[in-house]
Structure 1
Amino acid sequence: MSPLDLLTLALLAVLLFGPDKLPELVQKVAGFVRTVRAFADSAKDEVRAELGPGFKDLELEDLHPRTFVRKHVLDGLDRDGLGIDEIRSALDPRAELSQAAAAVKGEPVRRPESRTAAPQDAPAGAYDPDAT
């Protein structure tokens, strides 16, 4: 929230509740927030106690699927360790589109080395079996 938003809310609160009742309202809201936090903390403690001593350091935020995978599956692995860049380059259609454009223009077709096992020294304008 921006400072202008906070100032607008404060001005609105003063206009709605008046300067006399505003301190009392702030105290009630603060007490309610403290009560909700205490309730949430006690619920977390109960869950940890029910799970047993092996889960004393359990954070409920760690149970979110994305956080769980990041923490337990990807722990210690860098991005290249999973081969993500290879998968992304294999799924990238730009190489195939450039080959098709070259074939339409009549230029020699260049094949990527990792995608095909055919010889790379094909003459210009040669038939490309992968294009059909």
Structure 2
Amino acid sequence: MFGINGPEFFLLLIIGILVIGPKRLPEYTQKLANLVKEVRRMASGARDQIKEEVGIDIDEVDWKKYDPRQYDPRRIIKEALLDDDAKPVSPGAPAAVAAVSGAAAVAASGTGDTSPSERVVQRLSAGDVAPFDSEAT
């Protein structure tokens, strides 16, 4: 607590008793006791207010889950790179991707007989200039 060890605390206590004096010592100890009681009352009031407003009990929260030290970017990237690519990001992702690529292929070819797994690439002829948008960043 505050980087004070036992002998230093004892020395500060003796100096405090000498500075305050024996006549005012009971008054100051009562004030200290009242201060500690008030701080405890405020802490329990804050705990009750959080429980009432948020709806969870602070003792039930798994604080280790919210510890920022567990988020090592190197570990997260390594796990993402070594992760199996066969599993989809979301349950509907492969069908949605196939439907979008199939719709793009149909729109690009102009016919409706292109399968969704087939990809159509439009190429410029030899003398054509690639489109350029001067307002794009």
TM-score range, shorter chain: 0.3 to 0.5
Scaled by the length of structure 2, what TM-score is found?
Answer: 0.41
Scaled by the length of structure 1, what TM-score is found?
Answer: 0.43
Task: Looking at secondary structure, tell me which structure has more helix per residue.
Answer: 1
